[in-house]
Structure 1
């Protein structure tokens, strides 16, 4: 079976068992503050397990794109070194929400594996939870009884809490699980060692393929367990491992999930990948194999993340994606000798391979290719810069061991990988202090942990079973009751309280729009709501304190000034999206947005800078729609297909339900859950403030509306008045400024000529001041010139005589600067180095600098140190 057929067979099987087949959620999570990425099949169903929502069917099956590279589930450093860990992987899953339980889940998993996929029964082993006396959880008797009807007892292995009790996190739904493992060893090896002794022992050929989790408990903050009101089934089967087994391969990378990508890498680089079937692989070949495995794995994670809307960046989820891609680039650079961008060429192969089932990778193919190509080019430049910095570090090192702190600085500040540093140092006959590096790394991790440390208490439920409703589209204040509260303590924000209401007018952060702020008011007190977010289908209202009487009735009041300004910016975003598509082309798609009371930010796909004329057209188009006084047309809870048929735009990377909200302003039609003005005239005016690049093929516009535009024009008017006053109130301001520019250009030319004459005069004077020391023409002087002129003078004097050593200093803007010129024959014959001179003498002026061995410059803070630096320069000739 091909991988596509294996995926289809899984979904068809569970559809025949009454499961609703749903598409994969985006790999990048935008509505769950506890996770950056979908790291398991169950992530998109958390709200159902927590009882905060109702699934569209009690039985669901899917294949979910997952990414594990950070936090508890971190496989990144294993990827490439073994044959079964991945960053991105597909998790095949079947789910029961309060419907069937252990018997059906176990029976169907066995039926699918042995009757549909035809896996040999004697190679399958299962694990059952052995119970935990400390937790008071008994052995899984029901699961054991089910398995005894299907497999011999020597194929049943009891597992402890670590292996056979699955938890969503430190708190939340959890339960015992039963796993299915496959023994892929040769018949000879199987005769020597029984398979049951290798289960869960990290044997590369005896691997887990399917995990059936039986959600029965809820883990509380104090570690105790309470029974869930309903029992659920949460299963996950690794698609890549399953394909490997069915295709009878000993490595995931030898299956057709990866071979098309591997063949493309071989074609591009000229390096050949060796199958895992080949024994006695050389050390050099294994390095090549690891590099190729890293690259073909990482391209999948990066490409799908970008297709789902997450661009590489320096923070958050974007940093994780950039880190994955840079790891792939670095392996290609080091082990496949690739000095030009090439990973982007794999996107086409990936799109052809997976586009049928995941259409986003096909439709976003060009954008993904462009972004990866630009990231590659940028990091290759960084690697080149890192090589130069490493040369500098080596030059400053006495002995043959480089400081671990310096290597960490290269890693932390410039993204230069430590193993690449080690490789280059080894070639130069150096090593680095690994313990010092590790100490610096641990300090950084401790700082990071401290900054992000969060302690969350259990929910205190005041009104059980309440289903919260959002009334914010129609109201900005409403009578409410508090239904649950919890305390959250973080290093970043301190102590905050999360409050859930029976209904709320507060809009929770989402779709680019910030959460509402406002107050909860009772007869006796008022509590400030400082933010509103959504988590697991609950709307959380953040406050710095709780009401004294939490059971009282309250009025929830949204800050309408902030809400009104935000809604103007949000509606303007829709109008601008339409204008961009009309003016630049229908290839324009939203790739991110921020809508707050002060301004709007809009990221979109476009291949080049938006010209000033095009920006003026966009502004004019949006303002024309504002002046047209277009009425808001809102469709709530309509079927998504109906909305799409009406022409609504859906955004890639967003998760939509079967029913959606559609917003119309004239020709602008979008799926959107945000807050909008009732009429475009309410926006008043739209003004673009800036336009620029975010990544390859992605542009960003920032703009303002309403009162912010009024303030902008007031500031412009005030600035213009100040300019007029400064220019003595001329009749024609433009003519006056043009005249100033002409005068300035003429004066600059005169100054340049005077400086040139001054430098020439000083050169002739200073050449006579050369001293001969040990056969070297030496000069050390302070001059009254600018930094750039001093630099020119040092080079001019140095080249006027052979065997010259020139050290000049000057002061510009109260800051000292120093320059050193050394004749090239002295560099080669006497091992003199201008960079070393500047670094050493720069200490006297509290500065630093560098350059090439024959010329270097530096800048400092201590003017009084110039005399000492000039005096010490001669020491280099002794």
Structure 2
């Protein structure tokens, strides 16, 4: 059975049993501050389990793209070494929100597996929660009794809390679960060892394929459990593992989920992958297999993350994606001998394979390919640089053990993988101080963990059952009551309080726009709201001060000045998006944005740096729309399909509901939940302040409007006046500047000629000062030249013979500089390295530098240390 059919049969089965089939949410989460990525099928439904929103159906089924590489669920280091862990995987799931419970969920699971997929019953085992007296949670008798009607009792296993009690996190909905495991070993293996003894023991052919979670409890901050008001079902079946079982394979990577990608890697590298059925493979072949598994797994995670809007970067979710990709590049570099970018070539295979069900990978194929190619090229350069740095570390190492701290510097600063460091060191006959590396790594993790520690108390509910309403599109003030409060203590922000209101005019951060600030005012006090965010469909108002009386009425007042500035920037962002698509082409798509009171930032897909003419055209386009005084046409709560059909632009990577809000200014129409001006005239003026690259195929524009533009022009006028004063108020400023530039060019040429004459004169006098030490022509001398002159002098002297070791020092404009020249013959014969020399001598002038083995420079800030550095230089040849 092909993987596409496996997926289709699952969804068809639950559709026939009254489930609404919904699309996968993006793999990257933008509206849940507690998670970076969707790491389970239930993540997009959290607000329903928490009772903060009403689902469109009480029965839902889907296949969700999941990513487990950070936090509690982290499978990254297992990937490649076994045959069933993945970074990105599909989770087939069916859900009940207060509708059916254990009986229906278990019976449908059994029916689908044994009657539709026709998995032999004798290959299946199930587990039931054994209970936990310490937490007052009983044995799951109900699930046991249901399973007894379907399967022999000796195939039912009791599971502990770790295996059979599922929790969303430290707090929140949770409950016992019932897992289904499949035994795909050969008949001979089954006869020797019972599959029951291998369940939950990490056997690669006795694996969990389906988990039925029965949400019955809520975990409170103090660890206690309380019954939920409604019972829910949350199930998840690993798509890749299911395909393995149905296709008669003993490895996920031998299924058609991965074989097209593996075949492409084989074609590119000329190496062969051996399936899991092949026995007694060599150690070398095993390394190749692991590397290929890493590459084909990781490209899926990275490609879908980029398609959903997350670019590789140095922070947050972007750093995780970059780390996954770099792990794949490194395995290719080390074990597949790929020294050029190649992973990007797999994107076309992936798009062809999965594009029908996940259209985002098809529509974003070119962008994904470009970004991965650029990241590969960049990291391969880093690997080359790291190899050179590692050579230097080895050269400086006394003894046979390389410092773990130095290895950690390579890892932390340059991204050089530690296992590659260890491999190269072994090849050179060195040991790695692993304990030192681990200690440095642990110290960093401790610092990071301490900085991000957050303690969240339970909600104190003042008005039960209230459904909060947002009224901020129509008003900036509202009479409100507090419905719930909780305290949050973090190392970063200290103690804060999160307040939920019965209704609110405060816009919560979203769609790139920052959250509103303002006040809550009662008869006796004023509470400052410092931020507004959304979490699990609740609008949270952040404050440092807890109200003295939480039961009285308040007036919620938005800071209208800040909101007005943000709304002008947000509306200008829409107009700029329209301008970019009009001027550059319809390939332009928004890939990220930030809208705050000070400026706007907009990331978009485009293949080249924008020209000055194009930037001016964009400015002119937007300002023309401002001059036209276009009124806001806002349509709320219209069907998503209708809005798109009428021309509204939907952004990739965003999660839209069945009904949406559309914002229109003239011909610009986008789906958007943000705050906007009533008329484009309010924006006043639009000015681009920068344009640059973010990643391959992604550009970034930063721009300003309104008051910021006025301040920008005022600053330019002040600067211009200062220039006029400095030039003694000429009538024609431009002519005066050109005249000064011409004069400067003439003087520069004169100085260069004088320096060349000086170099020639110095050369003649320095030749006589060269002394021979151990067969090496040696000279260490301070000269009265600029750094460029010192370089010319070094090469002039170097051309005189084949065994010169030269260190020149300069102090031009009180900036010390060391220049080292080593004849190439000495580099080879005497193992002298100019880069190593200047790094050592640079310490005396409180600086550093580097270069090539035959020529290097180091700059510093301590002129007084020059003499010591020159005296130390002779030790390199003694």
Instruction: Identify whether the pair has TM-score above 0.5, normalized to the shorter chain.
Output: yes
**In the alignment, does 2:301 pair up with 1:312?**
no
TM superposition shift of 1:801: 4.0
TM superposition shift of 1:781: 1.7
**Residue pairs, 1:104-253, within 5 angstroms:** 104-253=104-253
TM superposition shift of 1:166: 0.4
CA–CA distance in structure 2, aligned partners of residues 28 and 414 of structure 1? 26
> The residue matched to 1:813 in structure 2 has which SS?
helix
The equivalent residue for 2:543 is 543
Q: Cα RMSD between the aligned structures? A: 1.2
**Residue pairs, 1:274-673, within 5 angstroms:** 274-673=274-673
**In the alignment, does 2:716 pair up with 1:716?**
yes
Residues 865, 107 of structure 1: CA spacing in aligned structure 2 closer, same or farther, 3 A cutoff? same
> The residue matched to 2:565 in structure 1 has which SS?
helix
CA–CA distance in structure 1, aligned partners of residues 184 and 487 of structure 2? 49
Write the deviation string for residues 115-136 of structure 1: whole angstroms up to 9, x where unpaired. 0000000111000111111111
> The residue matched to 1:742 in structure 2 has which SS?
helix
Tell me whether 755-764 or 206-215 shows the greater mean CA deviation.
Answer: 755-764
TM superposition shift of 1:726: 1.3
The equivalent residue for 2:687 is 687
Task: Please give the TM-score of this superposition, normalised by the length of structure 1.
Answer: 0.99
The equivalent residue for 1:759 is 759
Tell me, yes or no, if the aligned pair for 2:164 and 2:177 is still in contact at 8 Å.
yes
> The residue matched to 2:134 in structure 1 has which SS?
coil
TM superposition shift of 1:869: 2.5
Residues 479, 336 of structure 1: CA spacing in aligned structure 2 closer, same or farther, 3 A cutoff? same
Tell me, yes or no, if the aligned pair for 2:808 and 2:818 is still in contact at 8 Å.
yes
Tell me whether 106-115 or 199-208 shows the greater mean CA deviation.
Answer: 199-208
> The residue matched to 2:158 in structure 1 has which SS?
strand
Write the deviation string for residues 316-339 of structure 1: whole angstroms up to 9, x where unpaired. 000000100111111111111111
Residues 800, 566 of structure 1: CA spacing in aligned structure 2 closer, same or farther, 3 A cutoff? same
TM superposition shift of 1:745: 0.9
CA–CA distance in structure 2, aligned partners of residues 492 and 428 of structure 1? 44
**In the alignment, does 2:51 pair up with 1:51?**
yes
Residues 646, 875 of structure 1: CA spacing in aligned structure 2 closer, same or farther, 3 A cutoff? closer
TM superposition shift of 1:809: 1.3
Residues 736, 262 of structure 1: CA spacing in aligned structure 2 closer, same or farther, 3 A cutoff? same
> The residue matched to 1:25 in structure 2 has which SS?
coil
TM superposition shift of 1:775: 4.0
CA–CA distance in structure 2, aligned partners of residues 133 and 623 of structure 1? 69
CA–CA distance in structure 2, aligned partners of residues 617 and 72 of structure 1? 49
The equivalent residue for 2:870 is 870
Residues 342, 830 of structure 1: CA spacing in aligned structure 2 closer, same or farther, 3 A cutoff? closer
TM superposition shift of 1:782: 1.2
Residues 583, 835 of structure 1: CA spacing in aligned structure 2 closer, same or farther, 3 A cutoff? closer
Task: Please give the TM-score of this superposition, normalised by the length of structure 2.
Answer: 0.99
Tell me whether 851-860 or 235-244 shows the greater mean CA deviation.
Answer: 851-860
Residues 606, 518 of structure 1: CA spacing in aligned structure 2 closer, same or farther, 3 A cutoff? same
CA–CA distance in structure 2, aligned partners of residues 179 and 745 of structure 1? 79
TM superposition shift of 1:802: 4.6
Tell me, yes or no, if the aligned pair for 2:802 and 2:824 is still in contact at 8 Å.
no
Tell me, yes or no, if the aligned pair for 2:31 and 2:535 is still in contact at 8 Å.
yes
CA–CA distance in structure 2, aligned partners of residues 442 and 674 of structure 1? 42
Write the deviation string for residues 231-253 of structure 1: whole angstroms up to 9, x where unpaired. 00000000000011000100000
TM superposition shift of 1:532: 0.3
Write the deviation string for residues 260-295 of structure 1: whole angstroms up to 9, x where unpaired. 111111111111100001111111001000001001
CA–CA distance in structure 1, aligned partners of residues 365 and 828 of structure 2? 53
CA–CA distance in structure 1, aligned partners of residues 654 and 383 of structure 2? 35
CA–CA distance in structure 1, aligned partners of residues 144 and 610 of structure 2? 65
* Ranges in structure 2 where 5+ consecutive residues have no aligned partner: none
> The residue matched to 1:211 in structure 2 has which SS?
strand
CA–CA distance in structure 2, aligned partners of residues 377 and 828 of structure 1? 30
CA–CA distance in structure 2, aligned partners of residues 856 and 691 of structure 1? 35
Tell me, yes or no, if the aligned pair for 2:578 and 2:668 is still in contact at 8 Å.
yes
TM superposition shift of 1:40: 0.2
The equivalent residue for 1:87 is 87
Residues 106, 623 of structure 1: CA spacing in aligned structure 2 closer, same or farther, 3 A cutoff? same
> The residue matched to 1:406 in structure 2 has which SS?
helix
TM superposition shift of 1:202: 1.2
CA–CA distance in structure 1, aligned partners of residues 619 and 280 of structure 2? 66
Tell me whether 496-505 or 718-727 shows the greater mean CA deviation.
Answer: 718-727
> The residue matched to 2:253 in structure 1 has which SS?
helix
* Ranges in structure 1 where 5+ consecutive residues have no aligned partner: none
